[in-house]
Amino acid sequence: MAEPCRLVILISGSGSNLQAFIDAIARGELHARIVAVISNKAAALGLQRAETAGIPTATIDHKQFANREQFDAALRDCVEQFQPDLVILAGFMRILTPVFLRPFIGRLLNIHPSLLPKYPGLHTHQRALDAGDAQAGATVHFVTEELDGGPAIIQAQVAVQYGDTAEQLAARVLQVEHRIYPRAAEWFATGRLSLHDNRATLDGTPLPVTGFIIQD
């Protein structure tokens, strides 16, 4: 069997998606090794999850840098040092500039808690509720230079229930995030998934613009 795919995972907070990767690897569902977890916040709970799992960690505090580009250059150099095959943004709450993005395009994934292209940016669940949407969800996508705009890989739909609060909806969406994100990474790790002509391609066939759709 090929060497496990080397993952670097970037976080800012709780790291429940990071935990989903750790668990998927432990269960043998994802042929990968997390070689580093990097946070821009020293207090991120996800760093403790990584340490518990014996994964090397690093913190690069964005507040120590004069501007985004300098932070992004330091982050890029730190990530490159771990020689990743795939870089995973898992609740990394900084907007990234081309200084960071360019070297990793095609091997950089993000998960966003909405059915993209709806609701890029923040407060996605409240925006879905305010709009009266029947479906909310999450999208795993390749990262490009457009914020939350890269080609979709997997989209999971979650039904909005009568009386849902943003918190209740977020909790149900998070559960599906934990299923779809390691699955997309496994497609990449096994050579099935790539970025071609700005489309996510699975087994040589471009995926629909929504990505592969999973209904809850």
Instruction: Using CB under 6 A, list all residues that contact ligand GRF.
Output: 11, 13-17, 46, 90-91, 111-113, 138, 174, 177
16-26 and 166-189 helices, crossing angle to 10° = 40
Report in angstroms how near the CB of residue 212 gets to ligand GRF at its nearest.
17
Nearer to ligand GRF, 36 or 90 (CB): 90
HEC readout, 51-90: HHCCCCEEECCHHHCCCHHHHHHHHHHHHHHCCCCEEEEC
| Least distance between ligand GRF and beta carbon 177 (Å) | 5
Pick 44 or 193: Cβ nearer ligand GRF: 44
With beta carbons less than 8 A apart as the criterion, state whether 30 and 186 touch.
Answer: yes
Whole-angstrom Cα distance, residue 190 to residue 188? 5
Nearest in space to 48 (alpha carbons), one of 11, 80, 79: 11
Least CB distance to ligand GRF at residue 17 (A):
3
Beta carbon nearer to ligand GRF, 168 or 201: 168
* Token couple for 152: 């979709």
Q: Closest CB to ligand GRF among 72 and 139? A: 139
CB of 208 to ligand GRF, least distance (A): 21
CA distances from 98 to 35, 144, 146 (A): 23, 9, 10
Please identify the residue of the shown chain whose CB is closest to the bound ligand GRF: 91
The residues annotated with a catalytic role in the active site are 112
Residue 37 — φ and ψ, nearest 5°? Answer: -120, 125
**Residue 138 backbone phi and psi in degrees, to 5:** -145, 155
Query: 13 or 201, CB closer to ligand GRF?
Result: 13
SS3 14: coil
Sequence-separated (6 or more) residues with CB below 8 Å from residue 188: 5, 85, 86, 107, 109, 194
CB of 205 to ligand GRF, least distance (A): 26
